[in-house]
Chain A
Amino acid sequence: MLARRIIPCLDCDLGVPGGRVVKGIEFKQIRYAGIPWELAGKYYEDGADEIVFLDITASHERRDTMVAVIKKTSESVFVPLAVGGGIKSVEQARDVFNAGADKITVNTSALKRPELISEISERYGNQAVVVAIDAKRRYNPENGREVVQTPEGPCWFECSFYGGREFTGVDAIAWAKRAERLGAGEILLTSMDRDGTYDGFDIPLTDAVSKRVRIPVIASGGCASPDHMLEVFQKTNASAALAASIFHFGEWQIGDIKRYLADRGVNVRL
């Protein structure tokens, strides 16, 4: 039986030489967490099942820096590496794959031009394409929306892009299903309502999406404790849980969290 995965996420500011890992709440209160390849190496040793790098600067000039970060990381980290942020074409994806990435994640560029998903998956395989979705609750259920019951009332979920700065009007659940049809191998699902709150994952959102697609769903946004990971694995079909701050600044090591989950019946790789 497949294990549930624990994935640390490195938000990379590539505006400084070699890059640096940062974490902030809605781009405010930015904290410096470390050097990307060093942190990746530490998380690998701690038992990370996969590592996600997101270029939060995402400008053309800085892609070379990301390529250098991935090359350096893949010399000593032997778990899958996923890379995202500003990838708009198969050519840009190729540079990242050639540096040692196993998967790329697309968000804004796929919402603007969905064929990008098919183009990359036809060349590199479905497993190499992760579609990242930033979803925001909307408590005005309209016709034609995928409505989900939550303790706070019925809502639908709207996709945002440009790192949460703009909204699209696109239904997140419908988009997840379409992304799967277009050849996505995985959905990285972030709750914008929970991201940075430390209140735990958005369970109704994760449950709804992971029931409606057959590809794996990575839950993201709001994780601050091993209990939050336990909750998302017990209450939803999420294949993986992604978090950042809990690993960068928290008291929990990945290995400790996995043992905590294993002791409570979750199938994880120890």
Chain B
Amino acid sequence: MIAIVDYGMGNLFSIYNAMNRVNGSPEIVREPEALGGAKGIVVPGVGAFGKCMERLSRFEGALSKALDEGTPILGICIGLQVLFDESEENPGARGMGWIPGKVVRLPEGVMIPQMGWNGLSIKRPVGILDGIAEGDMFYFVHSYHCVPKDRSVVAATTEHGVEITAAIHKDNLFATQFHPEKSGAKGLMILKNFVRSTQC
């Protein structure tokens, strides 16, 4: 079973359907205790950083425990951003801090939000990107982007005014700024790779 964390930030229908399509046996989970039995965990996210953290905080302990036990975790969009220390979107709001660094606003002069399909530049050949080629396009919707202190966690980037962290990988933690559940066949491939990582 792959748990999709429902912390009340919007509709999880798309990620649920996409996980179903790649035989991920998804289950929408509304209580932290239910994460214990999961083989993999998806942290989706729409909305603002501060609000997300506020609602996600009651899952923090259970998520940390799963991370320590080696359960594969996939963050999507804001689900990537909340892994960092803080965000310019809501100064003062604390992130989970699993990845040292911060989330900053996209530069002036480019379209904000970045909304649409953009190509990946692959920095490291990680399992979650198996079958994905340089330049393959994914669907992005965001106004802020992640700047990790340690660049070695970055698995792929894209370009929107500046170089943007598109995917990170650190041990059993994966996260994407783009939406694999809205990125056609290539997006499904990433979800399939994640499901495979939960079966090892």
Residues of A within 8 A of B (CB): 1-3, 5, 44, 47, 49, 71, 74-76, 78-80, 97-100, 102, 124-127, 185-186, 214-216, 239-240, 269
Q: Which of B13, B113, B119 contacts A100 (CB 8 A)?
A: B13
B119 contacts across to A, CB distance below 8 A? 1, 3
Q: Are A2 and B184 in contact (CB under 8 A)?
A: no
Binds A, one of B14-22, B63-71, B124-132: B14-22
Q: Is B188 an interface residue (CB 8 A)?
A: yes
Q: Which of B10, B17, B115, B188 contacts A74 (CB 8 A)?
A: B17
Q: How far is the CB of A189 from chain B (nearest CB, A)?
A: 16
Q: Are B115 and A186 in contact (CB under 8 A)?
A: yes
CA distance A1 to B159 in the complex (A): 6
**Given the contacts A74-B14, A78-B182, A2 and B188 also touching, CB distance less than 8 Å:** no
**Given the contacts A49-B117, A214-B112, A98 and B11 also touching, CB distance less than 8 Å:** yes
Apart from A2-B111, A75-B17, A97-B10: 18 A-B pairs, beta carbons within 8 A: A1-B160, A2-B117, A5-B117, A44-B184, A74-B14, A74-B17, A78-B14, A78-B187, A78-B188, A79-B183, A98-B11, A100-B11, A100-B17, A102-B14, A127-B113, A127-B115, A215-B111, A239-B111
Mask: chain B, 1-27; 1 = CB below 8 Å from A; 0 = not: 000000000110110011011000000
Mask: chain B, 170-184; 1 = CB below 8 Å from A; 0 = not: 000000000001111
Mask: chain B, 31-64; 1 = CB below 8 Å from A; 0 = not: 0000000000000001100000000000000000
Q: Is B137 an interface residue (CB 8 A)?
A: yes
Closest to A80 in B: B182
User: 15 interchain pairs (CB within 8 A)?
Assistant: A2-B160, A3-B116, A49-B116, A71-B13, A78-B14, A78-B181, A78-B188, A79-B139, A98-B11, A100-B11, A100-B13, A100-B17, A102-B14, A127-B113, A185-B115
CA distance A5 to B117 in the complex (A): 8
CA distance A240 to B13 in the complex (A): 25
B21 contacts across to A, CB distance below 8 A? 76, 78
Range, interface on chain B: 20 to 34
Q: How far is the CB of B161 from chain A (nearest CB, A)?
A: 10
B182 contacts across to A, CB distance below 8 A? 78-80, 102
CA distance A97 to B9 in the complex (A): 12
**Given the contacts A44-B184, A76-B21, A78-B182, A185 and B113 also touching, CB distance less than 8 Å:** yes
Q: How far is the CB of B134 from chain A (nearest CB, A)?
A: 14
CA distance A26 to B181 in the complex (A): 36
B104 contacts across to A, CB distance below 8 A? none
Q: Which of A78, A98, A125 contacts B46 (CB 8 A)?
A: A125
A126 contacts across to B, CB distance below 8 A? 113
Closest to A4 in B: B116
Q: Is B193 an interface residue (CB 8 A)?
A: no
Q: Which of B47, B159, B184 contacts A79 (CB 8 A)?
A: B184
Closest to B112 in A: A214
B112 contacts across to A, CB distance below 8 A? 214
Closest to B118 in A: A2
Q: How far is the CB of A236 from chain B (nearest CB, A)?
A: 14
Q: How far is the CB of B121 from chain A (nearest CB, A)?
A: 11
Q: Are A127 and B141 in contact (CB under 8 A)?
A: yes
